[in-house]
Structure 1
Amino acid sequence: MSFVIIAILSLTSCSKDFLDEELTTQYSTEYFETAEGLEALTVSLYGNIRWHFGYEWAYGLTLYGTDEFTNANDLTNEMWNTYDSRLGPLGATPSTGAANWNATSPAALWDEMYYGISSANTIIANADIIDNEEIKNRCLAHAYFLRGYNYYRLTAQYGGVVLQTEPAVGVVRNFERSTEEESWEQVISDFRNAYNLFAGEVFTYGKGITWTKATAAHFLAKALLFRSSERNSDWNSAYIQSDLQEAIDACSYAIGARGTLTNNYSDLYANWTGVDCEIEQLDEILMAAGHNADGATTGRFGNRTYNYFTPQFSNFSGGWVRRGVWIGGMDFQRCRPTEYAYAVYDHVNDARMWKTFKTVYGINNIADNNLGLESGDPGIVMILNSQNDNTYDGYNFGAYVQNPDWVDVNGRLPEWEEGSRQTETAGTLTSTPGQYVPNVSVLYQNGEYVAPNFKSQPICNFFAGINKTDDGSRFAEKGDAHRDVTMARLGETYLLRAECYVRLEQYGNALNDINVVRERAQWKAGENRSFYSDGSQAFENNALNTGTAADNYVYSNLNMNTYYLSNPDIAVTTDASDLMLTSFPGNLPAEDEAILTAVGAGSDYERALHFILNERTRELLGEWQRWETLSRTGTLISRARAFNPEASTGITENKHELRPIPQSFIDGLLNDDGTNLTDAQKAEWQNPGY
């Protein structure tokens, strides 16, 4: 890759809504040396962040190879999960063993982040030509923020990177690689500048999708915490105390400025009802990649995230559940939750589990009337029981399961929310005793984790997916999603501050922040624990919601989960639950104690840190940052080995905590005298082990 002053290929015009995009490649570089051009370029910065969610790299770089997710039967980005020899500087193609041409290259993030940095550099270098001080500061704040964010993403993945802070003139090929210490200093400096320049919570381009002072505060805290964490322990001792206190102060600003957490966890993701709906405007959201239904705003990359968290339901036995726009996700089976991702929750008391995992699909395709099944009967059922549950030890699971006691489980009929589509079978999974359910899985039998046994060859494709990206507003089965992608929110800010307190051994303060997050996670009095929703409901407002499509929507999305089947000893209740910790880091919940034992966390600090990593999973599962969090805290190797069987044999210490520097970039470098780099010089550019 080369740095060129006109690196941005498509920009946006300055408008009331930054998503009202139009191509402006006709602009010359001189246009961006005018006040009007600089503000137009500032608005265009928002488009750069949408790249992160436009293709397979969305999960490959951020979720694979961790404790939370592993690959299913689709092997597109397998190497990012298994850490095999195909994860290298050259990238993987079918000729080098990749399953297809869609495999993510290590150059993808590297190249795209520098495009955004180039635009930010142009704004910063020319801002003085803007006479209006308010507009000038706004442009600078945005430019410093995006440059800081892009360098944050680069440094988190690659370590020390090229720090280009001036507009490049022509083609430049003689760069120097900065150290990781120098790179974090640049990130932190940019975020500090943005924090100081943003005028509080002023939503310049539209509430909920605009960067503000609280956005900068959140990421400033993340960068400071990163510099203070274990990955940088060889050189960071002089920074730790001051960085942690500054990070606490930054978190405190964001929390104070944006108010309390939204009351219902479902409002963050599950209750998405359509384009620009109310939940996209929540005060808790600090940063989002904005999308809408205007095809002209898709840009170079649309939102493809709805593809990655869903099991391969359309290929399950009998074809009873077919895919379509009425089901909010496509069954690309990329991200399969690990056993840890289920076991980390309190299955009874933590509402986040049941507001996140989709466990029931309705029949929308009658494949065999001889079974007596009807459209709208359960076609896929996933029972998320606990390891100590022996209820299902004698059951046969998989295809065409006949379980007569699933009707009115133990005589219990939970009340459904008024207006639910499934009032006649309230709380039951079948309406007739002895009725078949075409596809059923369970997590545990006889104390063993058996969920991967329900599979197609060679790897399991039957699992409970998560609903944070489901979108029933799509205009085509494989069309782009129209919902925003949340990139930062206050739920994480509280956990960032709690971790800072842990590192300062202020465990009481950490406990207070943790309990704020866990209080929101509790069942509220009156809640129906069997009710489920996701972004499929946006189909109700979709112009395609007519005729057969409308029927398929009703049949497919049953608004129910398997809470009571998964917790068979729990009586039906609408009481509030209790997740509040009374001590920390001693005497933790049983699910946490089991995980801490598995990773060998013994000291108070280790117990506290790993608990926060567990809490981050419960709060932030699938929210595009797990790999960097584990790399930062020095826990990537131990937790991947403990909880991700596919990653455990390939992941290597002192190598896989960083990504390979793209070979295409290294090969394009020249010495100052114009000569090519020697093999030894190229090796110096590369990260250890690659």
Structure 2
Amino acid sequence: MNKIKHTRIGLLIMISLSINSCAKDFLEEEDTTRYSTEYFETAEGIEALAVSLYGNIRWHFGYEWAYGTTLYGTDEFTNANDLTNELWNTYDSRFGPLGASPETGAANKNVTSPSDLWDQLYYGIASCNTIIANANKISNDEIRNRSLAHAYFLRGYNYYRLTAQYGGVVLQTEPAKGVIRNFERASEEACWEQVISDLRNAYTHFEGEIFTYGKGITWTKATAAHFLAKALLFRSSERNDSWNSSYKVADFNEAIDVCTYAINARGPLTNNYSDLYANWTGIDCPNEQLDEILMAAGHNADEATKGRFGNRTYNYFTPQFSSFSGGWVKRGVWIGGMDFQRCRPTEYTYSVFNHVDDARMWKTFKTVYGTNNVVNNALGVNAGDPGIIMILNTKDDHTYDGYTFGAYVQSPNWKDDNSRLPEWTVGSRQTKSSGNLTSQVGKYVPNVSVLYQNGQYVAPNFKNQSICNFFAGINKTDDGSRTAEKGDAHRDVTMARLSETYLLRAECYVRLGQYGNAMSDINVVRNRAQWKSGENRSFYSDGSQAFENNTLNTGSAATNYTNSNLNMNTYYLSNPTLPVTTAASNLELTAFPNNLPAEDEDVLSKIGATTDYDRALNFILNERTRELLGEWQRWETLSRTGTLIKRAKAFNPEAVNITANKHELRPIPQTFIDGLLNDDGNNLSDEQKAAWQNPGYN
């Protein structure tokens, strides 16, 4: 490989002295930029720098790159009418090493550049290098080992993200001395060796589940175990099959061992799936400290967690409700999400769930908005009536075949057959035994759409839009604690959970041909997903409820909150032949990988998965959707398993330009390549620059 020099400050050669930290008891650290480098050779200084590493992960959730680099262009999400990061989803000619701008065809200036992630990850690595290099100067064993654990973990995590996204990258593992450095692009094999080495070191140095810098969001031995397992699995997965054969068995067995540590140390799973996301009640609430959460980007009301270090994720998963409702449902801090319509679920995402028995579906999708702004009383609507309703029916449901759905003033041939429509509440925060959507043809009914009519997927056809802005969004980021409509959210962003650890271990068992062990782990996750006896299947909640403790919850804002958040879903409208029930459901597998649930068999048929191994692997990918939907890792998972191209082509209608042997990796930022110099100080030639770039992007 060509050895090169780089003169760009802020990539590999910057010592990171200004990263902020997270969670209340370690958010208020001093500004480290006012200290000399000698300060970081002391116990106090090295620990301050270790604490500051938590700030580096908050960046991931501060802007459009949060979903652009992780969720777009996959089987789960596609773009809606907002086209900010459309090119990350469509893989069109604008997607390349230069990035995009309005001048080159991007929708606006907010589009994510390939350099965004690259720069920030190296920024964190520089701080880790300083800690690791200075650790032997610290005589206090506890501080030294704790700081090393954090530094090895973040460096391993950052190189994990770099390698997962870009393939082989530059490995800088020592503090830079000066602004000009000689380095080379390492192979992907060497990069995974570095990632695994760092995470092994972190796993060794962490002292079990001792929380040192905070509560549940603090990195621990289980956190390191989880990501070590992910790195081992990545190295020995399909994307690296050209060179990884000698690693596979040992990697899978080691991953099983470390997963087992995390499961034993932090189990069992949280009993109610809603407690992980939907039942978020405000800043630093108890649900942010659940043992199941292995890693989170911590946020609260402190100034250090605002701006580009703030949590903007509440913007990205809700439909454009204030627009298509004709003003009947206006947005505000009382609704936990903004209507920026970035991430629209695909047909696959809705259909991969068991709509009757899987509680995760109804504890995740927001299907009802209440009217908070009565535009025209003559239509017979009242504040607090359902204003937007998304019916998540299945392909074989023909209840609504003759119905006309659409915008807020329905056409006269809207049908409401009371003998078929389930019971529904109008103007109440709970479901009860009275009321329907409407009882008179031609009267006001909510903005309504369904997934299927006449066996056809019609959800994208709402109002005959070219790209639909009406969909059921997910609630994992909703935050009613915001103090401004577009202000930062205050809730933590979960980055790793124990249920994923079970699925990682199950995948390792699949790869070793141990299908029975894999099924046992999968069933742990699916058993939690079942309805429990006594649960009200029509009840819905999300992080909007944090508004109850918001200082803005007064006057008209309080009324808007009550009218908007009706705590109901469309479970019975979506399953119209099902009688009201509070019985427990059953999702447990009894055979694997054959005789799978119908929703999985449909997916496997569409992608042609026929061997036991392909069926098992793709079932786990389906289960990851059901369990981890929207949790910032889908693109990397599909790239790792060699399924990105096939599943995106099968299930994402907008990903029409995705290309094999190209889009499994991201382009190396052109700004980085252009800053490289040869040893003689001259710029790289065009041929040398092309050699640095990933295949297909020149």
Cα contact 1:201–1:257 (8 A) shared by 2: yes
Stretch moving more, 10-19 or 30-39: 10-19
Is it true that 1:264 corresponds to 2:251 in the alignment? no
Cα contact 2:41–2:138 (8 A) shared by 1: no
Cα contact 2:24–2:302 (8 A) shared by 1: no
Alignment of 1:241-256 (within 5 A): 241-256=249-264
Query: Equivalents in 2 of 1:137, 1:429: separation in Å?
Result: 63
The corresponding residue for 1:656 is 663
Alignment of 1:354-433 (within 5 A): 354-399=362-407, 400-401=409-410, 405=416, 410=421, 412=423, 422-423=429-430, 428=435, 430=437
Is it true that 1:231 corresponds to 2:239 in the alignment? yes
Deviation at 1:229, TM superposition (A): 0.3
Which of 441, 448, 452 is residue 440 of structure 1 equivalent to?
448
Which of 99, 110, 117 is residue 102 of structure 1 equivalent to?
110
Change in 2 beyond 3 A, CA 1:675/1:382: same
The corresponding residue for 1:169 is 177
Deviation at 1:404, TM superposition (A): 6.5
Query: Equivalents in 1 of 2:336, 2:593: separation in Å?
Result: 39
The corresponding residue for 2:614 is 606
Deviation at 1:8, TM superposition (A): 2.2
Deviation at 1:207, TM superposition (A): 1.5
Cα contact 1:53–1:304 (8 A) shared by 2: yes
Deviation at 1:433, TM superposition (A): 5.6
The corresponding residue for 1:471 is 479
Cα contact 1:596–1:607 (8 A) shared by 2: yes
Equivalent position amino acid for 2:488 in 1: D
Equivalent position amino acid for 1:116 in 2: G
Query: Equivalents in 1 of 2:22, 2:564: separation in Å?
Result: 42
Deviation at 1:160, TM superposition (A): 0.3
Equivalent position amino acid for 1:96 in 2: T
Is it true that 1:683 corresponds to 2:681 in the alignment? no
Cα contact 1:380–1:437 (8 A) shared by 2: no
The corresponding residue for 2:288 is 280
Equivalent position amino acid for 1:674 in 2: G
Aligned residue-pair number: 685
Alignment of 1:560-639 (within 5 A): 560-639=568-647
Cα contact 2:22–2:55 (8 A) shared by 1: no
CA RMSD across the alignment: 1.9
Query: Equivalents in 1 of 2:22, 2:361: separation in Å?
Result: 41
TM-score of the pair, normalised by structure 1: 0.96
Equivalent position amino acid for 1:342 in 2: Y
1:502-534 superposed Cα distances (whole Å, 9 cap, x missing partner): 000100000000000000000000000000000
Change in 2 beyond 3 A, CA 1:16/1:536: closer
Change in 2 beyond 3 A, CA 1:98/1:105: same
Is it true that 1:460 corresponds to 2:468 in the alignment? yes
Change in 2 beyond 3 A, CA 1:292/1:594: same
Percent of residue pairs identical: 77
Equivalent position amino acid for 1:675 in 2: N
Secondary structure in 1 matching 2:561: helix
Query: Equivalents in 1 of 2:581, 2:270: separation in Å?
Result: 24
Query: Equivalents in 1 of 2:12, 2:234: separation in Å?
Result: 30
Deviation at 1:436, TM superposition (A): 2.3
Which of 495, 504, 508 is residue 500 of structure 1 equivalent to?
508
Which of 275, 278, 302 is residue 294 of structure 1 equivalent to?
302
Deviation at 1:34, TM superposition (A): 2.0
The corresponding residue for 1:33 is 41
Secondary structure in 2 matching 1:318: coil
Equivalent position amino acid for 2:451 in 1: L
Cα contact 1:473–1:481 (8 A) shared by 2: yes
Equivalent position amino acid for 1:315 in 2: S
Cα contact 1:244–1:500 (8 A) shared by 2: yes
Change in 2 beyond 3 A, CA 1:70/1:13: closer
Deviation at 1:300, TM superposition (A): 4.1
1:446-497 superposed Cα distances (whole Å, 9 cap, x missing partner): 0000000015743110000000000000000000000000000001000000
Is it true that 1:669 corresponds to 2:676 in the alignment? yes
Cα contact 1:427–1:560 (8 A) shared by 2: no
Query: Equivalents in 1 of 2:618, 2:21: separation in Å?
Result: 46
Deviation at 1:677, TM superposition (A): 1.0
Change in 2 beyond 3 A, CA 1:610/1:411: closer
The corresponding residue for 2:329 is 321
Change in 2 beyond 3 A, CA 1:424/1:113: closer
Secondary structure in 2 matching 1:174: strand
Stretch moving more, 333-342 or 1-10: 1-10
TM-score of the pair, normalised by structure 2: 0.95
Cα contact 1:272–1:535 (8 A) shared by 2: yes
Which of 212, 216, 223 is residue 208 of structure 1 equivalent to?
216
Query: Equivalents in 1 of 2:166, 2:271: separation in Å?
Result: 37
Equivalent position amino acid for 2:123 in 1: Y
The corresponding residue for 1:449 is 457
Query: Equivalents in 2 of 1:295, 1:12: separation in Å?
Result: 10
Query: Equivalents in 2 of 1:630, 1:411: separation in Å?
Result: 39
